[in-house]
Structure 1
Amino acid sequence: MAEKQISPILKQVLELGPTLAFFLIYVRIKDETYSFAGTEYTGFIVAALVFVPILLIAMCLLWWLTGKLSRMQVFTAFMVIFFGGLTAWFNDERFFKMKTTIVYSFMAGLLGIGLLRGQSYLQYVMDEFLPMREEGWMIFTRRLTLMFALLAIANELIWRTQSTDVWVKLETFAFPAILFVFLWVQIVGLQKYLIDDPSAPKG
């Protein structure tokens, strides 16, 4: 199915809205305790469970409006559902916090496999939107692989050593901001590798 164009603002709301909703719900109920079927759950776990249907609804709307979901979006949704389920089943918030580490590690590992094969898997995903010579893609991929690995390590250190409040704030705002700034800096810094004519050779 061909991708349909929608308002960039609406697209951002659907992509980033669920995470912001999780943060707002958590802030509202973080000090509460809820009892279901004789088991008590913290506000964090309840917020994490509410986040799952919110994310799925947003993704369904995004697919309905655009006709397309990226593999990364599908993978992230699967991880949220899987670890959200583990969090509820074991009544242990650590599972939900580990999700971020695994997502970043997966991305670092996937890009790393491509690099070991002398390829940039990132190019396969973004080449249509960012025409660039192969040398530039390899540099970009190496740097992004390292960034994903560092974010995975940072998440592990933070959730294991800091409070839930600190982790939620960093997960909601700091990690996305760091990744956004990193990508922007890389795109600006790799301008010399961009191809003005996309039909020109990329080697």
Structure 2
Amino acid sequence: MKQLLEFIPLILFFVVYKLAGIREAAVTLIIATIIQMIILKIKYGKIGQQQLVMGVAVVFFGTLTAYFNELEFLKWKVTIVYALFALVLLISQFGFKKLLIQKLLGKEISLPEAVWVKLNVGWAIFFIICMLVNIVISQFFSDDIWVDFKTFGILTMTIVASLITGIYIYRYLPKENHSVTTQDDLQNKK
């Protein structure tokens, strides 16, 4: 439910952009993001730091986009946010010896330290790739292609990165020892 809620403002932005234009889409994005934040606060009791950063960035850059009727502001929002995410991961790891990926996921799963280090760097690289791809598409392709990329391309890239992460960490997850009692085992005990 929470993940679906995070994509609703983006989908609404996409639909309104295709039907009505940039200004209307930006206003829709801002309103939907504010409503999303309120729902997250009510339903989960808090808003995560990543969601808060994204929400503030959407409202700020969305307001500039709506006011100037210029999509460039939202294009830069994507670049800046992904650059910030990459920087925060890398600075926390190499500057403060803290692995933010482990802080985010460490409560749910237990992994060796070396795996957390690789995951932290891997996600930082992923954010840098998203940032660079966004720059290329926003600067050298049409606004329509950028909106399609922002809506579906980054989502697809995130899903692929999440799948790769899952495949990578699977071998490091603790294995549960379940003994299965078969009919032969029961007969041998008699």
**Which category describes the TM-score, using the shorter chain as reference length?**
0.7 to 0.9
Task: Write the letter of the residue equivalent to 1:146.
Answer: I
Q: What is the 5 A alignment of 1:165-176?
A: 165-176=144-155
Displacement of 1:18 = 1.0
Structure 1: give runs of 5+ residues left out of the alignment. 1-9, 30-42, 198-203
Matched, 1:149 2:125: no
Residue 52 of structure 2, aligned match among 50, 62, 74: 74
Matched, 1:22 2:13: yes
Confirm or deny: 8 A CA contact 1:14 1:59 kept in the other structure.
no
What is the Cα-based RMSD across aligned positions, in Å?
1.6
Which residue of the partner structure matches residue 106 of structure 1?
Answer: 84
More helix by share: 2
Q: Residue 128 of structure 1 aligns to a residue in which SS?
A: coil
* CA–CA separation in structure 2 for the residues paired with 1:92 and 1:25: 15
Larger Cα-atom Rg: 2
Displacement of 1:176 = 1.3
Structure 2: give runs of 5+ residues left out of the alignment. 177-190
Which residue of the partner structure matches residue 6 of structure 1?
Answer: none
Matched, 1:11 2:16: no
Confirm or deny: 8 A CA contact 1:135 1:193 kept in the other structure.
no
TM-score, length-scaled by structure 1: 0.80
Total equivalences in the alignment: 175
TM-score, length-scaled by structure 2: 0.86
Confirm or deny: 8 A CA contact 2:30 2:63 kept in the other structure.
no
Deviations 1:175-194 (A, max 9, x none): 11111111221221122333
Task: Write the letter of the residue equivalent to 1:18.
Answer: P
Runs (4 or more) in structure 1 with deviation over 6 Å come to none
Q: What is the 5 A alignment of 1:12-161?
A: 12-29=3-20, 43-117=21-95, 118-161=97-140
Confirm or deny: 8 A CA contact 2:22 2:69 kept in the other structure.
no
Which residue of the partner structure matches residue 162 of structure 1?
Answer: 141
Larger deviation: 123-132 or 151-160?
Answer: 123-132
* CA–CA separation in structure 1 for the residues paired with 2:94 and 2:119: 15
Displacement of 1:27 = 1.2
> Percent sequence identity over matched residues?
29
Q: Residue 110 of structure 2 aligns to a residue in which SS?
A: coil
* CA–CA separation in structure 1 for the residues paired with 2:14 and 2:152: 9
Displacement of 1:116 = 1.2
Confirm or deny: 8 A CA contact 2:12 2:28 kept in the other structure.
no
